[in-house]
Structure 1
Amino acid sequence: MQIDEAREVRTTCPYCGVGCGVLAKVAADGEVTVRGDPDHPANFGRLCSKGSALAETIDLDGRLLHPEIHGRRTSWDEALDRVASTFSQTIAEHGPDAVAFYVSGQLLTEDYYVANKLMKGFIGSANIDTNSRLCMASSVAGHRRAFGSDTVPGNYEDLELADLIVLVGSNLAWCHPVLYQRIAAAREKRPEMKVVLVDPRRTMTSDIADLHLAIAPDGDVALFTGLLAYLGQHNALDRAYITAHTAGFGQALFAASALDLAGIAAATGLSEDELGRFYSLFAATAKTVTVYSQGVNQSSSGTDKVNAIINCHLATGRIGKPGTGPFSVTGQPNAMGGREVGGMANMLAAHMEIENPEHRERVQRFWNAPAVAQKPGLKAVEMFQGVADGRIRALWIMATNPVDSMPDADAVQAAIKACPFVVVSDVLASTDTVRHAHVRLPAAAWGEKDGTVTNSERRISRQRAFLDLPGEARPDWWIVAEVARRMGFDEAFSHASAAEIFAEHAALSGFENDSARDFDIGAYARIDGEDYDALAPFQWPAPSPGTPLWPAGHLPLKGGDQLSPPLSPTSDIAEMSDAQTLPISPLEGEMAGRPEGGAWARRPEGPTRFFANGNFYTPDRKARFIAIRPTIETRTSPDYPLILNTGRVRDHWHTMTRTGKSPRLSQHIAEPFAEIHPADARHFGIGDADIVRVSTVHGEALLRALVTARQRPGSVFVPMHWTDQFAVRARVDALVAPITDAISGQPASKNVAARLERFAAAAFGFAVLAERPASIDADYWSLARCAAGWRLELALQGGRDWTMFAASLLGDDAQGETLAYHDAAGGHYRFARFAGSRLVGALYLAPGPVAVSRSWVAEQLGADHADRRGRLAIVAGRPGGNHIDRGAVVCSCFGVGANQIAEAVRGGCASVAAIGAALGAGTNCGSCRAEIRTIIDARRLQAAE
C-alpha cells in the first residue's frame, strides 16, 4: 500500500467473541502496528496477547491470491461460472438439499447475510451451518427454550457490578483474557467480590477464584439442578418474579429434587462440603452472574446444562438487573452476528424461526424470494455425514477448516475427498481443508475487508479495511453475490457494498417486528455508505424511531411508579415504560446525521439489558423453566479408562491459520501436549516431557506429556489447535466422537473415552532451522515459528545414522560448515550448520527429552556468528559466560521468560506488580499474570524448604 502519511483506523479484533476495539496504524512506509482502542466499550484499550500480535499475522506468506480450478490458476469469471453452473446442475438433478454451505464465525455479518439469503431464500434449502455450531449452539437452544428467543440478557458491565461471579466451563484467563482482566480489575477495587470456578482442571483462571470446584466431566447438570433444589429448600427464591414472569417452576423444582446432596456429590465428583459452600454462597448473593462457555456448551447434555443454569437465575429473579444474569461468552468473533442473520441450519434471518410458517412467509416476502426453506437443514455433524453418504453432492466451505476442527475429523476428511464438488473460500492456499477443494476462491483477510461483527454482549462493531486487497482476493459477500447472480438471482444480489447489505439486514430486523422479536436494529435501515463508514459500536435493540420497545401492556410499571428522572441513554430495559421508545434515534434530533454529521459515530446507547421485568418472547411473555433431571453419564470402559477433554491455549487460535504466523505467539506453548495428572502418569509409566499416544475408538494422536496436578485424575486435556501443517498426528478432533446434543446438535468435545500409553522413542530431538523443511522424516514432530526461522521438536523410534539424518534436515552443501559433537555411548549428538556467519540450523539429539536452552538457541538464527569460538556455545545448546537464558516464554507481549522471572524473584520481586515494574511482564494484556504468580509461589516454596 502506497500512502503519503501515517493513518490510524478503528477496527475490531478478529479473534474471540469479546469483540475488542483495535487501532491499526499504517505508517507512511506501509508498516502496520496495532493497539487497543481506548474508546471501545468492550475493552477500553486492553488487548490480549493474540490481539497485540495481529500485525505479525497480515503478511502474504502462504496466501491464496488467485482463483484456482483443480490446482490451475484461472480467472474469476471462469471460477464463478463453474461454481454457479455446478450448483445449479446439482439442484436441478438432485434437488436443493443436495447442496450445502459450511460457513464460519470468522465471516462478517454481511458475508453471513448474503450466504444465508442465497441458501435459504433462493436455493430453497436450509443446508447452511457454521463452525459456530461447535461453540455455542447449546446456548442458542437453551435461550430459545427459556426465553422464546436467542437473547443474551446482560452485558459486560455486569461482570464488574456483580458480587459473585460463577465461571462454568470457562478458562476466561486464556480464552477471553480481556474479560478476565476486567473482572480482576474490578476485584482489586472491591475485594469482597467472590469468584467461583467450575472446571475439571485448575486452569490459570483459578488464580482469581475463591473456590475451585473440580467437577467431574458433564457433572454440570447435576450441580445446577442440585442448586435449584437447594434454593427451594432454603427459601432463597424470588417468588414474586416466578409468579409474575415465569411458567413451569413446580415441575422444574420437582425434577431437580430427584437426587439428595449425597447423590449430587456422587454425580459431580465434589464433596458435600464443597457443594454446601457453593450453594450457600449463591443463595446469599443477590448480584450474581454465571458466565459459561465451551465446558457447558460442548456436551451431549449441553442444552440441559444451559437451562439448568438459567433455571437458577429465573428462580432468584437474577436476570436483567445490573450485576446479574446467565452470560454465555462466545468463542468466535462473529458467532453472534451469524445467529442474527440466521446462519445456522435451524434458524431464519433476524431471529425468526424456520419452524414458524408466518416467519417463513415474512422473510420470503421481504426478500421477494422464489422459495424459503420449509424445514431445518443439516447441522454441522449431520452435514458432513450427508456428504459422506452422498445426500450432499456439492459443498461450499467458507473461512473454516473442518478437516481439523470437526469431530471424527478423519471421517470428515474422507467425506470431503469423496464429494463430487467442493468449493473452498479461504485466505490461505494450503490448509488441511483447502487441499481437497476442486475450486479455490481467494478471500479477503482481516485488515482487507469491511463489515460488522457482534460480540457476546450484543454489541455491533465495524471491522474496517486498512490494507489493499492483495492479488485477486475479494470479500466473501462479493464472492457469494457473484455466484448468486450467475445462478439467475441478479436483482436480489445486486449489492454494491457491505453498507448496502447491512442496511438490508437492519431493515429485515425491523420488518413487521413491532417489538415482537428481540433482535431489531431497524434504526439503521436507511444507513448509507458514509454513515456506515462512521458507524460507532452499539448494542441492540435499536429499533426504528417511534417503535415501542415492548408491545403495549407488556411492561407495566408498578402502581404509581414514575420514570424520574427522565430516561437516560443508558437506562435499563427494566426501567422503561410500555410507551417508551429509544431516547434518541440516530435519525432524529440535534445529532441526526449529515450535514451536522457524527450521529452514526456518536449514537447514544439505548437499553442494554433484557428481562428484569419479564417480557420474554414466548406467546404469553413468560419465561419457561425447563424440568431437568440430574443424570450421571459414563463413557469410559476398561479399554478406554480416561476422559479426553479438548480446548484452547492462551496464544493460539482455532487451527493456527493466523496465530501460527506469529513467532512470539508460538513461543509460549510451541508444541501439542497432553495434560496428565501425576497419578495417571505413574499408572501408565509416563514421565514429564515423554511423548505419549492418546487413543480413542476414532483415532490416535502423539503429544508431549505435561504432568501436572492442575489436571483432574482420570482426565487428559489436549489443545485443539495443531494440524498437519504444524505437527504429525496431532489433530485431536480426529479422536473426538461425533456425539451431539439431541437438541442443539453441538458436539461433545469435552467428554471422550480415551486411553494413554508411552510412546517408546529411541531418540528425542530439538532443532532450529532458518528455512521450513520440505519434509520431516520422524515418527513425531512439531514445528513452530521463531523470530528468524523455525523450531522443531522430534521423537524417533528406530535407530538412525544421525549424521545423515542431520544432513537431510540441515543441508550439506560444500559451501557451508558443520560443527558436530558425538557421544555415541551416551546417545547424545549435536550439529550446527553455518553458511558464512549465519546459522542455517542446529540439531540436538538425546535418548531422553533434550535439555537445551530452546529460546536462546532459536534466537541464534538471527545473530551474527563470525566469531568461531561463539559457535561452540550453539553446539553446547546454551549461552556461555554472562549471557542470560530467558527460558520458556511466559509473557508473549514482551518476550519475558520463566528464568528471567525466577531470577527477579530471587532478586527480591515478591509480587506480580513488582515483576511488572522490573521486567514489564504482565503489564500489557495481563493474561500471563497467573503464570507469573505461579513462578513466584514456587520460588517461595523452594526458599521455605
Structure 2
Amino acid sequence: MSFPIVISNPPDASRDAVRTTCPYCGVGCGVLATPRTDGPPDIAGDERHPANAGRLCVKGSALGETVGLDGRLLHPKLRDPGSGELRDVSWSDALETVAGGFRRIIDRHGPDAVALYVSGQLLTEDYYAANKLMKGYVGSANIDTNSRLCMSSSVAGHKRAFGEDLVPVCYEDLELADLVVLVGSNTAWCHPILFQRIVRIKETRPEMKVVVIDPRYTATCEMADLHLPLKAGTDVRLFNGLLSFLAEHDTTDAGFVEAHTTGYAQALDAASTDAVNGFDLAQCAKACKVDRHDLHEFYRLFARTERVVTVYSQGVNQSTSGTDKVNSIINCHLLTGRIGKPGMGPFSFTGQPNAMGGREVGGLANTLAAHLELDNPRHRELVQTFWGSPAIAERPGLKAVELFEAIEAGRIKAVWIMGTNPVVSLPDGDQAKRALARCELVVSSDIVESTDTNAFAHVLLPALGWGEKDGTVTNSERRISRQRAFLPAPGEARADWRIICDVAQRMGYAGFDFSAPHEIFDEHARLSAYSNDAGSSGKTTDSDGKTGNEHIEGDVQRVFNLGGLVALGRERYDALQPIQWPVLAANGSEQCGTARLFGDRRYAHADGKARFVATPPRAPVHAPDGEYPLTLNTGRVRDQWHTMTRTGKSERLAGHVTEAFVDLHPQDALSCGVREGELARVSSRWGTMVARVQHGGGISRGSVFVPIHWNDQVASDARVGAVVNPEVDPVSGEPEFKHTPVRVDRFDVAWHGFSLSRHAPVLDGMTYWTRVHGTHFVRYELAGRKPLTDHNGWAQALFGIDDPHADWLEYEDRTAGVYRAVHLVDERIESCVFVSARPELPLPSRTWLAGLFGKGRLDDEDRAGLLVGQPIGKGVDTGPTVCSCFGVGRNTICTAIREQGLKTAAEITACLKAGGNCGSCVPELKKLLVDTELERLSTA
C-alpha cells in the first residue's frame, strides 16, 4: 500500500506550536511544542502524526521539564594536561585541536588509528556527515554506534533473510492482526504508545489474541492471553520447535516456499536436531522450561491464525545468539507465507529515536550509506564515485565492543564520541574506563558537561539538544519525521552536522560545505537513488540545481530509496510531513511512501527470493556455576531513559523508581542471605555494583533483573554495565545483556536513611548514596558502614551548617537508633535528614516531605509531623508515584479504591485520572485493586 506524501504549511491547531518528533524510543511519536517566555515549553501529542495520533507516554509528556540548561555543556572546553582541569576555549581552538590531533595520528599511524563512536540520538543528517567523513575521506570504517548495542542483530537477521535491512510491516498491522506475539519486549513500559494501540484494538475485538514470551512476568503480561516464561537464552529452541510443529502439522504455504524462498530443508533440519523421531513437544518444553500445554497452545494459536505479527525487541537482539533468534522468528513467517500482507509479519521494535536513520546512512561499522555493503567492491565504487571522495574504506571497521578493546590495546589512538555515554552503556564498563584513560585523544560532543564518559575527554564540544536541533529521524516502521527546532541555541552549542563539517574542512577535506540540514538530506536522498534501478538513473540534481556525479555502469538495486524526496529545497523540507520509505519518484508530480514491503513477494537477494536460515540452538557463552549461580538480565524501567541525563531532570519521572534495584525471587534472596529493602552487591567476573533488593513478583528462580539507567553521576556504585559480560553475537557484534552469571551478596551497613535539601549535601565518606531530582530540592538515599555517634554534628556537616543559631529541629532515639533533623530558614524547610540503624523500622514518606519543600512557610502541623516522622492530617501523604502522567500516588489510589468501592482500572481512571494518558501504569492499577481486595479480606 502506498500513500501520497503531504507537504503542507505548519498547522493552525496551535498558533505558536512547532511540530516535531519525540527523542526517546523508536515509536517516533509526533509532538506539538509551544515555547513560552515565562517557563518551559508546553508539550502535547500531535494528533496528525500517524505514529501516535496525539498520544504521548509519560516520558514524552514530561519533555518540557527536561530542557532546562542546568548541567548543560555550553562552551567548548579543553582539559589542561597538567592539572586535568577543563577550561573554556574558542570554537576555533577546539576545532583545530580535534582536526590537528586526528590529522597527526592518521599521518603517523594510518586511518585505522582513529575512530568515531556515534549514537541513535543523532539526527540522520548528523549521522550522514559522520559516516561520509570516516568512510569516504579518512578512509576507515571505524565508525560504530550505540545502536550496535540494541538492534544490530535485527539488521543482520534482516539482511540474511531478505538481502537488505528491511522491516516489512507497519504499525497498522498491529491492529489488523488476529494474533500478536511479543517476544523479549516489555512493550507496556518500553514502547507504551504501541502497547496501548494493541490494548485498544483488543478491547474492541476481544477475539484477538496476545501471547507474551519473556523470562520475566512484566507489565506487558497483564493483558496477555498467554505468557510463556521461557528459560533465558532458549528463544531459538522455542521458535525452532514452532517451525517443526508447523511442518509436522502441514500448516505451511508450500507454494510460497517453493516459488519465493530457498534454504527451507536446511532450516528445518537444524530445527529438528533435538528430536530423535521427529518433533518432540515435551522435549522442547523441557528445554525452554515452559509448561508443555502452554507451549502447545501457543503453537496451535500460531498455526491456525493467518494474521500474525511477531514483535521482538531487546530480549531477542541482545544475545550472543541474537541474529539466530531473529532468523528463527522470520523462518516461521516464511514457512507460512505470513509476510508482505496486512496484519502479518516479523516486526523489530527499535529502542532509539533514530536507530533506523543511522542504519540508512551506514552508521554501523560494517555497512555503507544507502544500504550498500562495505565488503562489496561494486558498492564501494558506487559510493566513492557519488561522493567524489579521495578514499573509501575497504573493509568493515571495528564494532562497538572490539572498538573499545582496540583503544585499550593502543591500536586506536583517537576517538570522537557523539551523543552517547559508553562508560555506562557498554558491557564490561570498567574496560571502557581503562580504554579511554589510556587513549591519546578523546573528543566528546555532548549536551551535558558531567558524564561518566566526559570525565575522560580531552576536548568537549557543546552540541544542540532536542528542541534546538533540526533534521530528520526514522522510526521503527520506516517512517521519516522531522525534528524541528523551537528553542534557541544555548551558549555556543552547535549542531552535530556542523561540528563534523567544520572538523572535516580543517582536515583539508572537500565535500563538507553544507550550510543547512536540508542540503545534507538532499545528498542522502540522491545517494539512495543513485544507480538504483528502482529509482532515478543517470545524473541526479540536488535542491539547488547542482548536478551530481554521472551514473556508472551497472545499477545496484536496493529497496531503500528516497528518490521521491530529492530536490525538496529548504521550504518543502521544512514542511515535510511523516512518510515511510521507500519513497519513489512517481511519473507525475505526486510522491508516494510505502506502508509495508514484500507485497510483490520479491526480496532483495539477487534471485529475488527470501532465505530460510538454519539456526541450530547454541548455549550462552557463559553459564551459571557454583561461584556465580544466578543469571543477570538487564533492561529499562518505565519512566527513565538511557543514562538519565534528560529524564533525570524531571521530578515526576524520578518518582516512580527512585534508585537502582536488583529484583530476584524470594527463595534466591534467602539463599543469598539478602532481604527485601536492604542493599546487596551484585558481582560477576567483570565487575560489581550495589542496588536495593526487591521482589517484584515477575522473576523465576535462578534469574535476577537490574535496570540500566543508573551511573556514577547519580549513584555511588550502580553501573550495571560494569557487571555485564562482554561476549557478543558472532554475526551482529551485539553484546549479551540478558545472560551474565552473577552472585548476590549482603552489603552490610550500620545505618540507612535519606536527606532532602535545597542544595547538594556533602557526601564525603558516604558508603552508599543515590540522587533523585526534585523541583525544589535534591534527594539522596544514604547508607554508611561506620556507626554514627554524634548525629547532630554529622547532620550539620552533611548540610554544611556551622551557624550555632540555626533554626534546627531534631529528634533522637538512641535505643532504636532513630534520628530526625530539620533545618529551617525563615519558617521554610531548607533541609532534612532521617536515619535509622534498624532496616525494619520504616523511614518517613519521601512524597510527604517533598510536598513540604513547595511550601513558603511551615505551619504547626508540619512542624509536629517533622518531629514525629509522619504527616499529621488525612490525605497529606499521597504515597509513591504510580501514575506519573497525572502525579497520582499509591496511597491516593488505595484510599479511593477502599472508600469508593472501585472495581476496575477504568473506574480508577474515571475517579483520579490515573492511567488515562499513556496507560503504562494500568497494570499497576490492576495490581493495586487485587492487593487492596486481599487486604480487605484479610481484615474482614
> TM over 0.5, yes or no?
yes
Name the residue aligned to 1:356.
Answer: 376
2:558 to 506, 514, 517: 517
Indicate which of 485, 508, 514 corresponds to 1:495. Answer: 514
Structure 2 equivalent of residue 826 of structure 1: 816
Aligned to 2:598: 611
2:863 aligned partner = 871
Mapped contact 1:768–1:790 kept (Cα < 8 A): yes
1:901 to 893, 914, 920: 893
Q: Corresponding residue for 2:306? A: 286
Cα deviation for residue 185 of structure 1 reads 0.7
Q: Please state how far the C-alpha of 1:848 moved relative to its aligned partner.
A: 3.3
Equivalent pair of 1:25/1:32 in contact (CA under 8 Å)? yes
Aligned to 1:570: none
What residue is the counterpart of 1:713 in the other structure?
Answer: 701
- More divergent stretch after superposition (829-838 vs 161-170): 829-838
1:64 aligns with 2:73: yes
Structure-1 residue corresponding to 2:18 = 9
Which one of the candidate residues 580, 585, 608 is aligned to 1:621?
Answer: 608
Equivalent residue runs for 1:72-111 within 5 Å: 72-111=87-126
Determine if contact 2:829/2:858 at 8 Å carries over to the other structure. no
CA displacement 1:489-512 (0-9 Å, x = unmatched): 13x000000000000000000001
Q: What's the CA shift for 1:30?
A: 5.7
Q: Which amino acid aligns with 2:820?
A: R
Candidates 50, 54, 63, aligned match of 1:41? 50
**Aligned-partner residue type, residue 559 of structure 2:** D
Higher mean displacement: 872-881 or 528-537: 872-881
Partner of 1:339: 359
Alignment check: 8 A CA contact 1:510 1:544 kept: no
Q: Deviations over 1:661-717 (max 9, x none)?
A: 111100000100011111111222222111111110111111011113211111110
SS in 2 for 1:228: helix
The answer to whether the 8 Å contact 2:757/2:832 transfers is: yes
- Distance in structure 2 (CA, Å) of the matches to 1:703 and 1:904: 33
Deviation at 1:764, TM superposition (A): 1.1
Question: Which segments of 5 or more consecutive residues in structure 1 lack a partner in the other structure?
Answer: 547-584, 590-602
For the 8 Å contact 1:6–1:26, the answer to whether it is kept is no
Give the Cα separation in 2 of the matches to 1:848 and 1:373: 62
Partner of 2:916: 923
Which residue does 1:702 correspond to in 2?
Answer: 690
1: CA distance, partners of 2:117 / 2:598: 34
3-state DSSP of counterpart to 1:784: strand
Aligned twin of 2:333? 313
> Distance in 1 between the 2:290 and 2:356 partners?
34
Question: 1:427 maps to what in 2?
Answer: 447
Q: Aligned runs of 1:31-180 on 2, under 5 Å? A: 31-70=40-79, 71-180=86-195
Q: Is the 8 A contact 1:857 1:877 kept in 2?
A: no
Give SS of 2:481's match: strand
Deviation at 1:329, TM superposition (A): 0.4
TM-superposed CA distance for 1:898, in Å, is 0.7
Supply the AA of the counterpart residue of 2:833.
L
What are the within-5 Å matches in structure 2 for residues 753-764 of structure 1?
A: 753-764=741-752
* Contact kept? 1:67, 1:440, Cα under 8 Å: yes
Show the counterpart of 1:660.
Answer: 648
TM-score (norm 1): 0.92
Counterpart code for 2:390: P
Q: What's the CA shift for 1:767?
A: 1.4
What SS does structure 1 have at the residue aligned with 2:853?
Answer: helix
Determine which of 569, 579, 600 is the counterpart of 1:528. Answer: 569
- Cα deviations by residue, 1:699-749 (Å, 9 ceiling, x for unpaired): 111101111321111111000000111111100000011100000000000
Structure 1 distance, partners of 2:17, 2:689, is 44
Report the AA paired with residue 909 of structure 2. Answer: G
**SS of the residue 1:467 aligns to:** coil
Distance (Å, rounded) in 2 between the aligned partners of 1:317 and 1:500: 41
Whether 1:252 aligns to 2:267 is: yes
Cα distance, 1:881–1:440 mapped onto 2, change above 3 Å: same
Provide the residue aligned with 2:798 in structure 1: 809
Distance of 2:436 and 2:175 partners within structure 1 = 46
**Cα-Cα RMSD:** 1.3
How far apart, CA to CA, are the structure 2 residues paired with 1:125 and 1:173? 40
**1:619 Cα deviation after fit:** 1.2
Distance of aligned partners of 1:326 and 1:397 in 2 relative to their CA distance in 1, 3 Å threshold: same
CA contact (8 A) 2:862 2:871 kept: no
Residue aligning to 1:600: none
Q: Which residue of 2 aligns with 1:575?
A: none
1:402-444 per-residue CA deviation (whole Å, 9 max, x = no partner) reads 0100000011011111100010000011111112111110000
- Other-structure match for 2:546: none
User: Contact (CA 8 Å) 2:753, 2:783: kept in 1 or not?
Assistant: yes
Structure 1 position 872, deviation (Å): 2.4
Deviation digits for residues 431-490 of structure 1 (CA, Å, limit 9, x no counterpart)? 111121111100000000100000000000000000010110000000000000011113
Give the distance between the partners of 1:99 and 1:36, measured in 2 at CA: 42
Match of 2:767 in 1: 779
SS at match of 2:70: coil
Question: For the residues of structure 1 that align with 2:729 and 2:330, how far apart are their CA atoms?
Answer: 18
Matches within 5 A, 1:264-279: 264-279=284-299
Q: Is the 8 A contact 1:836 1:866 kept in 2?
A: no
Helix, strand or coil for the counterpart of 2:255? helix
CA contact (8 A) 2:40 2:68 kept: no
Q: What amino acid is aligned across from residue 822 of structure 2 in structure 1?
A: A
In the alignment, is the contact (CA less than 8 A) between 1:267 and 1:632 conserved in 2?
A: no
Equivalent pair of 2:762/2:798 in contact (CA under 8 Å):
no
| Residue 542, structure 1, aligned to residue 583, structure 2 | yes
* Matched residue, 1:552: none
How far did 1:774 drift? 4.8
Deviation at 1:778, TM superposition (A): 1.9
Q: Write the letter of the residue equivalent to 1:41.
A: P
Shift of 1:243: 0.7
Q: Which residue of 1 aligns with 2:667?
A: 679
Shift of 1:263: 2.7
Would you say the 8 A contact 1:200–1:711 is kept in 2? yes
In structure 1, the residue matched to 2:630 is 642
Q: Number of residue pairs matched? A: 886
Amino acid at match of 1:506: A
What CA distance in whole angstroms lies between the structure 1 residues aligned with 2:466 and 2:371?
27
- For the residues of structure 2 that align with 1:512 and 1:880, how far apart are their CA atoms? 75
Q: Which of 374, 378, 393 lines up with 1:373 in the alignment?
A: 393
In structure 1, the residue matched to 2:434 is 414
Structure 1 residue corresponding to 2:31, chosen from 7, 22, 26: 22
CA contact (8 A) 1:865 1:871 kept: no
Structure 2 residue 727 is the aligned partner of structure 1 residue 728? no
Which sits farther off after the overlay, 859-868 or 45-54?
859-868
Residues in 1 aligned to 2:420 and 2:197: alpha-carbon distance in whole angstroms: 30
Deviates more, 1:916-925 or 1:338-347: 916-925
TM-score (norm 2): 0.93
2:936 corresponds in structure 1 to 943
Cross-structure match for 2:541: none
Distance in 2 of aligned mates of 1:687 and 1:865: 39
Offset from partner CA, 1:90-117 (integer Å, 9 cap, x none): 1000000000000000000000000000
Tell me which amino acid in the other structure corresponds to 1:27: R
Equivalent position amino acid for 1:438 in 2: H
Q: Secondary structure at the match of 2:401?
A: helix
- SS of equivalent to 1:7: coil
Distance in 1, matches of 2:315 and 2:671, equals 27
Matches of 1:926 and 1:663, distance apart in 2: 19
TM-superposed CA distance for 1:868, in Å, is 4.6
Residue type of the partner of 1:284?
Answer: R
Task: Select 2:248's aligned residue among 227, 233, 246.
Answer: 233
1:170-249 aligned within 5 A = 170-249=185-264
Question: Residue by residue, what CA displacement relative to the aligned partner does 1:862-920 show, whole Å, maximum 9, x if unpaired?
Answer: 21334355212123332102243111100001110111111111021111111111111
Task: Name the structure 2 match of 1:300.
Answer: 320
